């Protein structure tokens, strides 16, 4: 079983999210891939926040 779900939430801990991971790190500069992963994660979290009911 995976620690996180598709919305980057940690199973069993409310309010905690983990970033997605790069499966392979490029042998060149890592700035651009890091920004792309961060933007994707932010979009996932924003989308998930809109769907969650207010506590």
Beta strand residue intervals within 3-51, DSSP E: none
Beta bridge partners of 10: 4
Q: Is the pLDDT of residue 44 over 80?
A: yes
User: Which residues touch 3 (CB under 8 Å, ≥6 apart)?
Assistant: 10, 11, 18
Measured in degrees and rounded to the nearest 5, phi and psi for residue 16 equal -105, 130
* pLDDT 10s digits, 15-35: 888 877 766 766 788 888 888
**pLDDT level of residue 9 (50, 70, 90 thresholds):** confident
8: confidence class by pLDDT, cuts 50, 70, 90: confident
Mean pLDDT of all residues belonging to the chain: 78
How does residue 1 score in pLDDT terms, banded at 50, 70 and 90?
A: low
SS3 string, the chain, reads: CCCECCCCEECCCCCCECCCCCCCCCCCCCHHHHHHHHHHHHHHHHHHHHHCCCC
């Amino acid at each position: 079983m995976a620690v996180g779900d598709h919305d980057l939430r940690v199973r069993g801990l409310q309010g905690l999210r983990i970033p997605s991971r790069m499966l392979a790190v490029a042998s060149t500069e890592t700035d651009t891939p890091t920004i792309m992963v961060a933007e994707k994660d932010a979009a996932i979290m924003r989308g998930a926040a809109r769907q969650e009911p207010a506590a």
